Amino acid sequence: MNTTRQQKVARLLQKEIATILQIDGKNLYGSALVTVTEVSVSRDFSFARIYVSIFTTGNKMDVLQTIESGKKEIRYKLGKQVKNQLRIIPEIVFEIDDTLDYIENINNLLKK
């Protein structure tokens, strides 16, 4: 169970990382649409797991690996954005959020 502080930090990180990916994303991964769906923060705020949904692309893993390779720059920009709100800028790991694909698969199965 997350504390109120963890939830607030997670929302802050979600908003800021989404903005960074929106602005700098075209340079990283091209025409794919990437949205930050959820952020999970550790109790000591030193680690954040960022879940992203990736649309309009054939291979999601390629886009995810491109984002992962640019995470040092993303973390640096995140640090510049939240330096007054957070004492520690967490290490970040990106993961694919496949809940929308799962829902679409269930809908397709129900239509049959």
The closest alpha carbon to 29, from 1, 54, 2, 4, belongs to 54
Distance CA 28, CA 7 (A): 28
Annotated domain spans of the chain: 4-111
CATH superfamily of 4-111: K homology (KH) domain (3.30.300.20)
Helix (H, G, I), strand (E, B) or coil at 107: helix
Per-residue pLDDT tens over the stretch 28-86: 777 778 889 999 999 999 999 999 988 876 788 888 888 888 889 999 999 999 988 88
User: What is residue 31's predicted lDDT score, i.e. its pLDDT?
Assistant: 74
- Is this structure's pTM higher than 0.85? no
Res. 90 pLDDT band, cuts 50 70 90: very high
User: What is residue 23's predicted lDDT score, i.e. its pLDDT?
Assistant: 86
